[in-house]
């Protein structure tokens, strides 16, 4: 039986490396890396039963909506290295009014904002932190638009590692910055954008022997596969027509695609859902690359701009993996404006669900894709809400009070605005106002 190993993702290279090598790119060709396993002894029907039984258990790893499914990412040799905050276990929420807005008969949100630190990053970070501990690392680092740093800070601190965080100065939502500080991370606000800081952090990681926990780390991707595994388990293995998600650095779509292909190859599911990645129009290098024929070289966007700061990324590292997943699932890439994101976000909020701006790109994208006839009105669609509504409260207040401005300073119309009303301490006046 072949041991778990790292493999270069570049088709012409495919070099193998040890699972405990500290690598983020292939030393031979510079390509991305991914974890590979020998799954030949797995039985899909038996595992489906085991995973159901684990939901009834009080064992911490069975409680985790990530590690419950560990047989599909068996890279950790010793479970003692795992740090769990009971991540995953995120709900599938139907939302009829949001479906109507998106031009669909029905929609289901897989809400990753229910995670311990409020975003889908926890699914990957529990895996990355486990690998860091297994490698005997002391310090871990990441560059982040906010959620990765919040998640890394929590998992590193919970696991006895020192978190070092690098964020673009002034471009991260307060909910996320507050988390990094509160979870005890040493936090550096750098006068540069995400893409420039990633290059900086890679130099520092090498120089200081710090373990890098950005999504270029292949173990983060392994953990994030659990989002689609749990989704399929919750749906009793009925494959949706579409899975829609926002795209920034493109780690998540890479993880979804790998997880889904592995589940199909192992007989857990009989086909792949189509993947739809939605980008903000001001930060849409992957959209442009795919639209223009998907032929390398990939053209990075030098000055990405969007109020959805989570996906404000011009040079997404995982684009080769994302391209494979879009092409092999018959997927699409779409882009949406700031106004479209804002109105979709308020619609998700008014459904009692709520999410952060980047997550709302999903519903805005679905609305465009149904209008264009690409997604059928009767389609079975799961949209992944990647972050919690409280991550970016400034955005919410500004939208509802009509003060939200796009990066180019143009006003965003509060189509579904719901401003607070200032009233005197007077029962008669308030009665009159309520009507």
The structure tokens 């540069």 sit at 192
Rounded to the nearest whole angstrom, what is the least distance from the CB of residue 392 to ligand F0G in the complex?
A: 9
Which ranges in 266-371 belong to alpha helices (H)? 285-291, 319-329, 338-350, 357-371
Rounded to the nearest whole angstrom, what is the least distance from the CB of residue 358 to ligand F0G in the complex?
A: 4
Rounded to the nearest whole angstrom, what is the least distance from the CB of residue 128 to ligand F0G in the complex?
A: 13
10 Å Cβ neighbour count for 421? 8
- Alpha carbon distance 85, 385 (integer Å): 20
Nearer to ligand F0G, 134 or 213 (CB): 213
215-253-16 Cα angle (round to 5): 55
Nearer to ligand F0G, 134 or 341 (CB): 341
| Site residues, ligand F0G (CB under 6 A) | 119, 121, 144-148, 215, 246-252, 310-311, 356, 358-359, 386-387
Rounded to the nearest whole angstrom, what is the least distance from the CB of residue 139 to ligand F0G in the complex?
A: 18
Three-state SS at 316? coil
Nearer to ligand F0G, 88 or 387 (CB): 387
Q: Answer whether 354's CB lies under 8 Å from 389's CB.
A: yes
Q: Which strands sit side by side in the sheet containing 186-190, from one edge to the other?
A: 186-190, 162-168, 139-143, 211-212
Nearer to ligand F0G, 84 or 214 (CB): 214
Rounded to the nearest whole angstrom, what is the least distance from the CB of residue 308 to ligand F0G in the complex?
A: 8
Helix (H) or strand (E) holding 36: strand 33-36
Nearer to ligand F0G, 195 or 343 (CB): 195
95: Cα within 13 Å, side-chain hemisphere: 27
Residue 72: phi and psi, rounded to 5, are: -95, 0
Rounded to the nearest whole angstrom, what is the least distance from the CB of residue 115 to ligand F0G in the complex?
A: 11
Nearer to ligand F0G, 240 or 247 (CB): 247
């Amino acid at each position: 039986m072949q041991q778990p190993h790292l493999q270069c993702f570049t088709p012409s290279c495919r070099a193998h490396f040890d699972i405990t090598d500290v690598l983020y790119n292939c030393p031979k060709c510079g390509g991305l890396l991914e974890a590979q396993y020998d799954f030949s002894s797995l039985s899909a029907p038996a595992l489906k039963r085991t995973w159901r039984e684990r939901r009834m258990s009080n064992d911490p790893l069975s409680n985790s909506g990530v590690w419950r499914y560990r047989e599909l990412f068996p890279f950790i040799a010793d479970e003692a290295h795992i740090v769990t905050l009971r991540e995953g276990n995120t709900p599938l929420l139907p939302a009829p009014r949001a479906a109507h807005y998106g031009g669909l008969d029905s929609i289901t949100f897989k809400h990753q904002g229910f995670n311990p630190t409020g975003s889908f990053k926890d699914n990957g970070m529990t895996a990355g932190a486990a690998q860091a501990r297994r490698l005997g690392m002391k310090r871990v680092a990441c560059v982040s638009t906010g959620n990765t740093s919040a998640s890394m800070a929590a998992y590193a601190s919970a696991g006895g590692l020192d978190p070092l965080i690098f964020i673009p100065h002034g471009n991260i939502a307060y909910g996320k910055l507050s988390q990094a500080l509160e979870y005890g991370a040493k936090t550096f606000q750098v006068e540069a954008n995400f893409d420039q800081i990633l290059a900086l952090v890679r130099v520092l990681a090498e120089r200081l022997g710090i373990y890098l926990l950005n999504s270029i780390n292949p173990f983060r991707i392994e953990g994030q596969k659990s989002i689609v595994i749990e989704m399929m388990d919750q749906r009793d293995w009925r494959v949706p027509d579409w899975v829609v998600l926002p795209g920034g650095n493109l780690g998540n779509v890479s993880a979804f695609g790998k997880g889904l292909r592995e589940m199909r190859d192992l007989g857990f599911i009989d086909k792949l859902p189509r993947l739809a990645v939605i980008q903000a129009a001001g930060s849409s290098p992957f959209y442009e690359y795919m639209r223009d024929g998907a032929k390398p070289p990939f053209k990075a966007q030098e000055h990405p701009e969007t109020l959805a700061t989570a996906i404000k990324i011009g040079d997404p590292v995982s684009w080769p993996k994302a391209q494979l997943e879009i092409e092999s699932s018959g997927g699409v890439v779409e882009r949406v404006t700031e106004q479209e994101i804002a109105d979709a976000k308020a619609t998700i909020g008014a459904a009692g669900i709520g999410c952060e701006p980047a997550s709302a790109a999903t519903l805005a994208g679905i609305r465009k894709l149904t209008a264009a006839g690409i997604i059928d009105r009767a389609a079975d669609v799961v949209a992944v809400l990647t972050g919690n509504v409280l991550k970016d409260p400034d955005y919410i207040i500004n939208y509802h009070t009509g003060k939200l401005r796009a990066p180019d300073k143009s006003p965003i119309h509060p189509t579904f605005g719901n401003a607070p009303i200032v009233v005197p301490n007077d029962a008669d006046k308030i009665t009159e106002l309520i009507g």
